[in-house]
Structure 1
Amino acid sequence: MNLALTWRLLKGGGRRGMLGTWLTLAAVAVATGLLLFAVAANFAFHDRGERGAWRNPVPVESGGVAVEATRRDFVRDQAITVVDLATLGGEAPAPPSGLPRFPRPGEVWLSPALSELAAELPPEQLAARFPRPAGVLGDEALVYPGELVAVVGRAPDDPAMKPGSAEDAMFGLAPGRVASLAGTPSRDATSYQALAVVAGVLMVVPLLVFGGAAARLTVARRDQRLAALRLIGATPGQVVGMTVAEALIVALAGAVTGTVAYVLAAPLLARIEMQGGPWFTADVFPPLWVFAAVLVAVPLLVGLSAVVGLRRVVVSPLGVAKRETPPGLRAVRVVALLVVLIGFPLLSRKADVVVIGTALAVAFLCVNLVGPWVVSLIGRITARAARGPARLLAGRRLVDDPRAAWRTVSGVALTGFVAGFVGLLSPALDQAPAGPHELRVEASAGQVEQVVTQARERLKEAGLTATVKPEDSVVIATVGGAADDATVDRARTALAGLVPGRTPTSFRDDMRSAEQLFSDVQVGTIVVLAVSFLVAVTSSGITAMSSVLDRRQTYGLLRLAGTPLELLDRARRAETLIPLTVMGGGAILVGAFCALPFVLGSMSPVGVVTLGGCVVVGFAGVIGAGALSRPLLRAVTEDPAPRPD
């Protein structure tokens, strides 16, 4: 019976009543779609790490079935991952996924993108480095589509496969015996997974807050209706049952809509480049159990949030019907935030990612917890200092319902926390100095002069003008003239194999790993902020319209009493912008404070621009969202006989 009555009340709320329902559905849909994105990112980085694990095998002290080494080569300012493999007698071990068989000595297997590039460029620029291509690697062996990878088969006694040579941490792993090609994710992959967890927390917590707040949209209209039912004899159980049923119906429809939207957007999301390239579309699809969990968890969260807000309806329905102001919020909320801020400096860069993620989540929740109390305080100060009716109306409204006012600005305020945190974690990166193109090859002390002579001969045979000189155990070849990318690639090809197992590299090559990391941090920052701002602006727009619907009787009566529409609109803007200024700035400071233990150096101009841009976009988004609800305000105030549902 409760379900049938709930459905009748839901459909019988009129056009504006259904508008409130559609607003809730839209809020849940946005929260669900972005929640799936935030969760899927963690699975995507995990899958990447697993696909590249075969390049990072676990070494063994003795025995083993193969020798493996990893190094980096470069072409057209792009990195090539070169994996050297040699079998240690007997039967060849199982190859990694994407390679049909273990490569024989002299064979080369190229990734699809590298094979196409080798065919496109002149042989002396790339193909001559890999003279015996035997086939093309499958996608299962690649970290991302378009990755440049070469697998080179070698004999176990090849000088390039000599175990015990120094590990080159910048460009790969030294040759080592392995029991199998089943390895573990590399240090880089593990680091990216840890960063993905932190980014996930920065996105998921605001989404959960937004999803919970969705249940409180048009709360005044629903509370009035449920209070009336209580006063005419409905039991507390019936009121709770109807609320849960209504919330679950709307939330489930929104969750399904959000899931469908995410599935449709997945191919576009896969184009976001990280770690050097985009994603396989399958990467951005989490396991099916994640979709099922989200479809269950989101409606339950919305339903639980709706039930939590029913205390006054159940305990004091007459107070709700009479629109009495609820009791004030307690300052104990501030104590929780202060405790978290005192504990945050105790963290360090070496802290476990789970600890850091948990601490960030708690800080987020504490900012959200203290928000309504601060808004109530702002309202009292605004009302006392008001010099006009607009400020007075705004201040009284903030005091009357600080939770509703906080819901309007909470999205942008929590985004300020994200901006403060990630903005401070954007350190400056030293740029590679401009100068002549120098390629360096490391050689043993007794081979330096021989390598210098051979380098000169090879470069001369390639028709290149270059100066070659030794510097300790490094041979440096300076390519003269207007050395463009093609000329440098010809020099790389000429010097390939000069020292077995070593690749000619430049100072620019040395900087690429750091540049890639910082570039990915910037991309990650943009993605996190984009998600946060999408939540913030959506939250502001939906809650602004919901607030108009909640107070349409009050607005209508004020308009009938002669209050100008412009005055009501100014009061509404002040009610939003005043707490936004205080809480947005405060959230930025709290986020920056939480980032202090993890700062790696001086703050870059990118961080300053990020913070400034967030402030501008945040205010513009809230003002724009408020402007979109102005036609609705005009419509509800033109009703000559305003009445509640």
Structure 2
Amino acid sequence: MAGRTLGALRTLPGLSWRLLRGGGRRSMLGAALTAVAVAVSTALLLFAVSVNLAFQGRSDREAWRNPVPARGEAVAVQAVRTDHVREERITVVELAALTPDAPVPPGLERFPAPGEVWLSPALAELAHRLPDDQLAARFAGKGGGTVGDEGLVHPGELVAVRGWAPDAAVLAGRDGRDGRETDGPREGVAPTRISDFTGKPSFDAQGYQALALIATVLMVVPLLVFGGAAARLTVARRDQRLAALRLVGATGGQVVAMTAAEAMITASAGAVAGALLYGLLIPLLTRIEIGGGPWFAADLWPGLPYALAVPATVPLLVGLSAVAGLRRVVVSPLGVARRETPPAMRFVRVVALLAVLAAVPALSAGAGAGVIAGVLGLAFLAINLAGPWVVGVIGRVTVRLARGPARLLAGRRLVDDPRAAWRTVSGVALTGFVAGFMLLLSPTSDLLGEADSTRLRITVPAERAGELAGEARERLAAAGVRARTEVAGEGRERTLVVALGTGTAAGDAREAGDAEGAGSAREAGGGEGAGSAGDGARADGGTAPARPDAAQADRARTALDGLVPGRSATSAADEDRFGLTLIEDIGTGTVVVLTVSFLVATVSAGITAVSSVLDRRQTYALLHLAGTPLRLLDRARRAETLIPLTVMGGGSIAVGVFCALPFAITGVNARGLAILLACVVLGFAGVIGAGAASAPVLRSVTENPAPCPD
């Protein structure tokens, strides 16, 4: 007996394939829909995994520029500062070897010798393109070579690595910055004795990784829901077939095994197609600019383990999801065969959603990324759990308020099978949650205001302030830059301020001839560091100066380079640039997340709409044969989708806004409203388009009411 059972089980995959093929053209169409759904899910899941790995890779490649002090014998001295050109940031790494066996920095072929300058490809190209007095003169020295990909965060990054002797002034004491503690190379790193180039992740890199984790949850949870729905496509027809097998003697275990085999055969083909599709999309995805630039192709390739694990895992999940819905077939096959309406779902589904929402007010903007991601994931799952119950309620209300046959048919379908109706609109509803969440998390550049870019500032020692101010005037005059210099601030360090576009070289010399030792500028007033004289440059006679162009600013930066070893001339606009980049990146991330969500929603709506028609093809055919106009059936089908979509879409948006309240960056702004409006319009358009795409299938199934060989 055991041998016969084992033999039967061995033939189940083959039997599943024979039944799938024997179901006819429409059965194969249902399988193809499942394969397409799995392909899309696999490709987007690979993208979500790769994004997190890509940010980790960027963090690892940047870490060497954020050195940690040597714990044993030091082999080199390293300092990092930030320069700017054409409103882009340049990372300048200053290095000196302390021992002959100093390790090679990442991206370099050897340790840079004193006087050598290594440039990243993007910086070398820019230095060649711009006049020397705007950029190249800052990095005069022996050509060392090119900084390779291993030392760069992204392909377009501007990086210079310069070699020095150990006793160079740029690497002496704290001359690498103004003494402030920083979290990474964005603000500069003081000269540090190191034992290797391991470094540590910067605060900025950790922030981007946290944002990537949150974005991943916003993308992956709808994907998992979509993948689970893919296993339930054409479920009614499959349940009918399995129930018939169960009634003729198949055991519950055999039915479960056949279901898993059928689902995994189809899903495996889709998973392979999805992996290939993602590989083809990598060159296009690398053009998405985040963190100041595009991506290396290697960043978005997840590596062989993940490239194999994801396509292998998705079919398993699809198989488990398909098996999870077999309780009625195994326990009550006669009820399935007679098409009895399943018991109504319980209110406990909504209780789970309310419990998650009750925990949201306890969160704060300082909560960790893991906590935020966890709450968002639970909210997604709770919405997906409560969705079918709410759809059932909507169906009962629709039946009571129906004033025509189309609404009545739609309401009855919602009551009879709320899960199927929810699968059609779940993608758009979950996208509404994402849009609502982003409504309060979409800052604009107005948040930072317009920073002053007309005044360059350098921190200088107080005892040399006058001397350095005079040298700055001479350098600027020699470069042909019209500017006025002044010294501001008090204490051991002062701020040398260069107001571009004002004054003349001779006038500046007369005005500041005895400036040495001055505690504050005659015209700038008191204030701390660069900010004291930073806002609102004043021209002679009280009129506002003309705004200098980028070329003039870059000539001034080049002229002032090296005035104080290890320090660069910066403006308030330079210091705000990272904030502006972050705001732009949040906007880009929002677009990417919503694009993925809409892709999932549109594909989900289209596939489930066609699948729903195939599931009910006999019902549609018999209604049409009894005299129901095809136009009426089509209106009922559209109402069955649009009514729950309107309610559930609005509810999901409200839940998303509520979940975003603890982390709100700003109030509602035009950008957030535009995103929300676009989501509403595109969501309805996608569902309506999906319904239109399934109309030919509806006409096809009503043409021949004869039973199909399922």
**Could you tell me how far apart the structure 1 residues matched to 2:453 and 2:79 are?**
31
Q: Which amino acid aligns with 2:617?
A: R
Query: Is residue 90 of structure 1 aligned with residue 107 of structure 2?
Result: no
Q: 2:62 aligns with which of 52, 57, 62?
A: 52
The answer to whether the Cα contact below 8 Å between 1:162 and 1:175 also exists between their aligned partners in 2 is yes
SS in structure 1 at match of 2:298:
helix
Q: 1:167 aligns with which of 180, 191, 197?
A: 180
The match for 1:476 is 497
Query: Is residue 629 of structure 1 aligned with residue 694 of structure 2?
Result: yes
Deviations 1:500-530 (A, max 9, x none): 1111112221111001111111111111111
**Could you tell me how far apart the structure 2 residues matched to 1:184 and 1:336 are?**
41
The match for 1:447 is 464
What's the offset of the Cα at 1:436? 6.7
Q: Which amino acid aligns with 1:626?
A: G
Alignment of 1:135-214 (within 5 A): 135-164=145-174, 165-167=178-180, 169=182, 171-214=187-230
Alignment of 1:138-537 (within 5 A): 138-164=148-174, 165-167=178-180, 169=182, 171-430=187-446, 432-433=449-450, 437-472=454-489, 473-480=494-501, 483-537=548-602
SS in structure 1 at match of 2:299:
helix
Deviations 1:216-240 (A, max 9, x none): 0000111111111112222212211
Gap change, CA 1:435 and 1:595, over 3 Å in 2: closer
What's the offset of the Cα at 1:52? 0.9
SS in structure 2 at match of 1:483:
coil
Q: 2:77 aligns with which of 60, 63, 67?
A: 67
Query: Is residue 618 of structure 1 aligned with residue 618 of structure 2?
Result: no
Q: 1:122 aligns with which of 131, 135, 139?
A: 131
Q: Which amino acid aligns with 2:625?
A: L
**Could you tell me how far apart the structure 1 residues matched to 2:393 and 2:169 are?**
75
**Could you tell me how far apart the structure 1 residues matched to 2:550 and 2:358 are?**
53
Q: Which amino acid aligns with 2:179?
A: A
The match for 1:29 is 39
SS in structure 1 at match of 2:445:
coil
Q: 1:592 aligns with which of 657, 663, 667?
A: 657
The answer to whether the Cα contact below 8 Å between 2:617 and 2:701 also exists between their aligned partners in 1 is yes
The match for 2:121 is 112
The answer to whether the Cα contact below 8 Å between 1:394 and 1:572 also exists between their aligned partners in 2 is yes
The structure with more radius of gyration: 2
Query: Is residue 80 of structure 1 aligned with residue 90 of structure 2?
Result: yes
The answer to whether the Cα contact below 8 Å between 1:428 and 1:601 also exists between their aligned partners in 2 is no
**Could you tell me how far apart the structure 1 residues matched to 2:461 and 2:429 are?**
59
**Could you tell me how far apart the structure 2 residues matched to 1:610 and 1:64 are?**
53
The answer to whether the Cα contact below 8 Å between 2:282 and 2:300 also exists between their aligned partners in 1 is yes
What's the offset of the Cα at 1:534? 0.3
What's the offset of the Cα at 1:355? 2.4
Identical counterparts, % of pairs: 63
**Could you tell me how far apart the structure 2 residues matched to 1:153 and 1:92 are?**
15
Gap change, CA 1:436 and 1:298, over 3 Å in 2: closer
The answer to whether the Cα contact below 8 Å between 1:428 and 1:603 also exists between their aligned partners in 2 is no
The answer to whether the Cα contact below 8 Å between 2:23 and 2:708 also exists between their aligned partners in 1 is no
The answer to whether the Cα contact below 8 Å between 1:44 and 1:284 also exists between their aligned partners in 2 is yes
The ranges of structure 1 where at least 4 consecutive aligned residues each deviate by more than 4 angstroms after the TM superposition are: 60-63
Alignment of 1:1-12 (within 5 A): 1-12=11-22
**Could you tell me how far apart the structure 2 residues matched to 1:62 and 1:36 are?**
42
What's the offset of the Cα at 1:621? 0.7
What's the offset of the Cα at 1:491? 1.1
**Could you tell me how far apart the structure 1 residues matched to 2:72 and 2:265 are?**
63
The answer to whether the Cα contact below 8 Å between 1:417 and 1:589 also exists between their aligned partners in 2 is yes
Gap change, CA 1:552 and 1:109, over 3 Å in 2: same
**Could you tell me how far apart the structure 2 residues matched to 1:602 and 1:411 are?**
27
The answer to whether the Cα contact below 8 Å between 2:440 and 2:665 also exists between their aligned partners in 1 is no
Q: 1:558 aligns with which of 620, 623, 629?
A: 623
Gap change, CA 1:502 and 1:434, over 3 Å in 2: closer
**Could you tell me how far apart the structure 2 residues matched to 1:64 and 1:353 are?**
36
- More displaced stretch, 279-288 vs 165-174: 165-174
**Could you tell me how far apart the structure 1 residues matched to 2:243 and 2:451 are?**
74
The answer to whether the Cα contact below 8 Å between 2:47 and 2:278 also exists between their aligned partners in 1 is yes
SS in structure 1 at match of 2:140:
coil
Deviations 1:564-606 (A, max 9, x none): 1111111111111111111111111111211222223334422
What's the offset of the Cα at 1:549? 0.4
What's the offset of the Cα at 1:535? 0.3
Q: Which amino acid aligns with 1:17?
A: S
**Could you tell me how far apart the structure 1 residues matched to 2:130 and 2:385 are?**
60
Deviations 1:171-228 (A, max 9, x none): 3222222222211121111111111111111111111111111010000111111111
SS in structure 2 at match of 1:545:
helix
Gap change, CA 1:605 and 1:448, over 3 Å in 2: farther
What's the offset of the Cα at 1:413? 0.6
Gap change, CA 1:428 and 1:265, over 3 Å in 2: closer
**Could you tell me how far apart the structure 2 residues matched to 1:415 and 1:405 are?**
17
**Could you tell me how far apart the structure 1 residues matched to 2:311 and 2:125 are?**
43
What's the offset of the Cα at 1:290? 1.0
Q: 1:100 aligns with which of 91, 109, 121?
A: 109
**Could you tell me how far apart the structure 2 residues matched to 1:432 and 1:236 are?**
67
Deviations 1:235-272 (A, max 9, x none): 21221121111011001111011011111111111111
**Could you tell me how far apart the structure 1 residues matched to 2:602 and 2:289 are?**
25
Deviations 1:261-290 (A, max 9, x none): 111111111111111111110110112111
The answer to whether the Cα contact below 8 Å between 1:426 and 1:607 also exists between their aligned partners in 2 is yes
SS in structure 2 at match of 1:82:
strand
SS in structure 1 at match of 2:156:
coil
What's the offset of the Cα at 1:362? 1.3
The match for 1:573 is 638
**Could you tell me how far apart the structure 2 residues matched to 1:451 and 1:392 are?**
85
What's the offset of the Cα at 1:643? 5.1
The answer to whether the Cα contact below 8 Å between 2:560 and 2:569 also exists between their aligned partners in 1 is yes
TM-score (norm 2): 0.88
**Could you tell me how far apart the structure 2 residues matched to 1:434 and 1:275 are?**
20
What's the offset of the Cα at 1:359? 1.9
The answer to whether the Cα contact below 8 Å between 1:167 and 1:173 also exists between their aligned partners in 2 is no
Gap change, CA 1:436 and 1:285, over 3 Å in 2: closer
RMSD: 1.7
**Could you tell me how far apart the structure 2 residues matched to 1:567 and 1:57 are?**
71
**Could you tell me how far apart the structure 2 residues matched to 1:432 and 1:499 are?**
30
Long gaps (5+) in structure 2: 1-10, 502-545
Across the two proteins, how many residue pairs are aligned to each other? 644
Q: Which amino acid aligns with 2:234?
A: T
What's the offset of the Cα at 1:77? 1.9
The answer to whether the Cα contact below 8 Å between 2:72 and 2:195 also exists between their aligned partners in 1 is no
**Could you tell me how far apart the structure 2 residues matched to 1:436 and 1:315 are?**
74
Q: Which amino acid aligns with 1:547?
A: S
